[in-house]
Amino acid sequence: MIGRKEETVLLKNLLESGESELVSILGRRRVGKTFLIREVYKDHIVFEFTGIQDGTRRQQLDSFAFSMQQYFGWKKTTGSIGNWLEAFEILIGLLLKKKSKKKPVVFIDELPWIAGKKSDFLKAFGFFWNSWAVKNNIVVVICGSAASWMIRQVINNKGGLHNRVTRQIYLQPFKCKEAKAFLQQQQGLQFTDDQVTELYMVLGGIPYYLKLVPKGCSVAQAVNKICFAENAPLKNEFGNLYAALFANHYNHIAVIKACYSKWKGMSHYEIVKASGIASGGTLTKVLEELEMAGFISSTAPFTNVKKEKLYRLTDEFSLFYLRFMANKKNTDWVSVSQSQPFKLWQGYAFENFCFRHIQQIKNVLGIGAVITSQYAYNIKAGDSNSGSQLDLILDRNDRCINLCEIKYYEKPFAITPQYGRVLEQRVKDFRWHSGTKKTVFLTFITRAGLKNKPPLVDNELTLDDFY
């Protein structure tokens, strides 16, 4: 098991709790939810059922019956199971007959695929939990990739499942250090930190994607085989990913494409214009679902009086797909990866990498426990300045601010006297434009370090610090 230490400890503790537990596992598709449950509870699962994507109510019920046959040897006597209430009544009877010295676990995977509007699954599941499971010292795990659906329909359920979830886990993608360990231990790949970062900026920390990286290839060759080859496994992943997670997923893709068009983030109004989706409940729901699933992130702009959110596309694979894969045919990625447009894109992708690893940056700066907010920030041109874009701001509750410059250069980055004067002026402009009274620390985050570190630079982080 790579990473997942806190989640593993929590899940194991539930086996010793002495009472029934209803556990909700959230997390985007391919992030490893099912693997986590099967690995931790492999000796305790007495029944597992996985929903069928786009399956009808009849298909789901028949699949449930097949699962009971697999785990209990149960055989239908006459006809089919008529409804979900009947299905759970049969399951209760089978569980009562199952004698086990260990605390049993029932695992229901991809719940949103099962519980359609007219399925009555949640009512029947509520009956199963309230009338039997809660009294029988059992762990019931429910899992779903559509995080917003799980929160609305299960965690915030107003009916029989109201306040019944006893534990909730939101499984996040691997950070880069975990991705490196996964590639080494699971795949036997000895990539350097630079190479892992290059892969991470394309695939993110999704275990399933990383598992596709073949041995004996450079990063460019691996990306070519995974994304661009004739039968590349991720060639159609972009559309399939959103279709598997969201109803009316075309709205979600439209918002993703809109956010992609402006790297630093878009306001609600800008998304309306770029996506063609009218402002209102539909767009609000789409933004909420995309953010909960981890594809976009939102922040209120620094010093913005109205506190209007900016939405930023942060999913690595979506960013890469829209830039290099969408509507492209016969791409020779090994060649493209050496081009100047790709080098330029890596600079932006490294900014996203830093936003993804904010906690690691804070830990290196010695402020891991300090509450912070992070922003990209634009200083508009005026009479006293020519305007500039600040890559990352860490606004800290200890009355300090880290003004971060992010540079992705293969060699140590040199701060010339001329650029030093630009930086000095940029800090002054930021103080004046933002009106902040906090102490400002100029911080550099680079791939290979600084060639020289002038006095105006307070902190320096390199790629090594992330690993």
CATH placement of domain 238-322: 1.10.10.10
Q: Phi first, then psi: what are they for 177, rounded to 5°?
A: -65, -40
CATH placement of domain 357-466: 3.40.1350
What is d(CA 424, CA 442) in angstroms, rounded to the nearest whole number? 9
Classified by CATH at the fold level, domain 5-170 comes out as Rossmann fold (3.40.50)
pLDDT at 149: 83
Question: Are the folds of 5-170 and 357-466 the same?
Answer: no
pLDDT at 330: 74
* Residue 379: partners with Cβ closer than 8 Å, 6 or more residues away: 385, 387, 388, 389, 390, 426, 429, 430, 433
- Burial code (b: 16+ CB inside 10 Å, e: under 16) for 266-291 equals bbeebbbebbebeeeeebebbbebbb
Q: Are 373 and 395 in contact (CB under 8 A)?
A: yes
What is d(CA 249, CA 226) in angstroms, rounded to the nearest whole number? 24
Helix axes 249-260, 268-275, angle to 10 degrees: 110
The structural domains of the chain, with segments of one domain joined by +, span 5-170, 176-235+326-349, 238-322, 357-466
Handedness of CA 191, 318, 31, 205 (dihedral sign): positive
Check whether 305 has a pLDDT greater than 70: no
- Element housing 300 (H / E): none
Residues in the chain: 467
Check whether 422 has a pLDDT greater than 90: yes
pLDDT at 387: 62
pLDDT at 78: 63
Q: Are 289 and 315 in contact (CB under 8 A)?
A: no
Q: How confident is the model at residue 304 (pLDDT cuts 50, 70, 90)?
A: low
Structure confidence by residue, pLDDT tens digits, 179-217 = 999 999 988 999 999 999 999 999 999 999 999 999 999
The DSSP result for 82-131, as a single string, is -SHHHHHHHHHHHHHH---SSPPEEEEE-HHHH--TTT-HHHHHHHHHHH
Of the listed ranges 101-110, 373-382, 388-397, the least confidently predicted one is: 373-382
CA angle 291, 129, 96 (to 5 degrees): 135
Ramachandran area for residue 366 (φ above 0: left; ψ -120 to 50: alpha; else beta): left
Q: How confident is the model at residue 151 (pLDDT cuts 50, 70, 90)?
A: confident
Check whether 386 has a pLDDT greater than 70: no
Q: Is 143 in a helix, a strand, or coil? A: strand
Of the listed ranges 20-29, 62-71, 75-84, 415-424, the least confidently predicted one is: 75-84
Q: Is 236 in a helix, a strand, or coil? A: coil
Structure confidence by residue, pLDDT tens digits, 232-281 = 999 999 999 998 888 889 999 999 999 999 888 889 999 999 999 999 99
- Element housing 289 (H / E): helix 281-292
Strand spans (E) along 364-434? 372-379, 388-396, 400-407
Helix axes 84-97, 121-131, angle to 10 degrees: 30
CA angle 129, 133, 138 (to 5 degrees): 130
